[in-house]
Amino acid sequence: MTLAVARVSMPAEARRGDVVAIKALIRHPMETGYRLDAMGRRIPRHIVQAFHVTYAGEEVFRMELTQGVSANPFFAFSTVATVTGDLDFTWEDDRGEVTTVTRRLTVIE
Amino acid sequence: MTLNRRQVVTHGLGAALLVRTTKLSATPELRDATIAELTGGAPVRDGRVHLTIPAVAENGLAVYTTVAVESPMTAADHVRAIHLIAEANPIARLVTFRLGPRAGEAKVSTNIRLAASQNVTALAELSNGTYWRDVKPVIVTLAACIDGG
């Protein structure tokens, strides 16, 4: 079973040179490691530590996260449309779980 | 599930200790130390950075935050990184965005957790090695970390 369900919202097409707005969301508890359960035991930390985006194989955006980011982390950012190619969105959590979403951007002249 | 008296006592005590620890571990000094670590001691100037965050956040568990930096985002002149830093959270450094000229514009958003009313700092690192910031006070009605997720 995986906790991670990720979604990316971005246009499928853009003109070369356009700034493409991207929104990314993943379902994740982002457990801080500070909370206690009903027995007073500390609930272990479980967070997404890193998020990165490659565009046609080249890294264009990266994030480093801490427990200061809310549960079900949401990010909005942008990239310039250069060539028709795949954008790979990758989330990595501190238990080694990796989630990847791929979206194709078609560049129209 | 139901809690017996002992559980209520231990949980309550634990929660009280947690609140105490949280308050002790987060200070403006820790924020300044975190900024100094990120900048390597370089001066930080006010301006160019625009931090958009609610003045009153009803839910500290998810505070929608946007940072925009005035930058042409060219190969010669761009924003390399944007950091969000808290002064009253258990960890001062909330999140780091690393971007470059291929971002097209230096504007990012996310949801952050705030454990108490405090000043939030957005720190931008530019390609010319300069650092800029914007600081906004946020009043938090329901704090993160104390209970709930």
pLDDT (tens digit per residue) in B88-146: 999 999 999 999 999 999 999 999 999 999 999 999 999 999 999 999 999 999 887 65
Q: Which helix (H) or strand (E) holds B8?
A: helix B5-25
Contact B69, B84 (CB under 8 A): no
A93: pLDDT confidence band, cut at 50, 70 and 90? very high
**Chain A, chain B: beta-carbon pairs less than 8 Å apart:** 118
Measuring CA to CA, which residue among B45, B51, B20 is closest to residue B121? Answer: B51
Question: Tokens 């002992």 correspond to what residue?
Answer: B6
B15, containing H or E segment: helix B5-25
Question: How distant is the Cα of A31 from the closest Cα of chain B, in angstroms?
Answer: 7
Among B113, B121, B122, smallest CA distance to B140 is for B113
Structurally, what CATH architecture does the domain formed by A6-108 represent?
Sandwich (2.60)
pLDDT at residue B20 above 50?
no
- DSSP label at residue A36: B
Backbone angles phi, psi at A45, to 5 degrees: -65, 140
Q: Considering CB atoms only, which of A64, A68, A74 is closest to B89?
A: A68
ipTM value for the complex: 0.93
Nearest CA-CA distance, residue B43 and chain A, Å: 23
- Cα–Cα distance, B24 to B18 (Å, whole number): 10
- Chain A residues lying within 8 Å of B15, measured CB to CB: 36
Q: Domain residues of chain A, as ranges?
A: 6-108
Residues A44-75 have pLDDT tens digits of 999 999 999 999 999 999 999 999 999 999 99
- Determine the pLDDT at residue A3: 46
User: pTM of the predicted model, to two decimals?
Assistant: 0.86
Query: Pick from A64, A67, A76: which is nearest to B96 by CB?
Result: A64
Q: How far is CA A12 from CA A88, A102, B78, in A?
A: 14, 12, 26
Question: What's B5-142's CATH class?
Answer: mainly beta
CA distance A51 to chain B (A): 9
* Chain A partners within 8 Å of B1 (Cβ): 38
Of A31, A40, A69, the CB nearest to B10: A40
d(CA B97, CA A10): 19
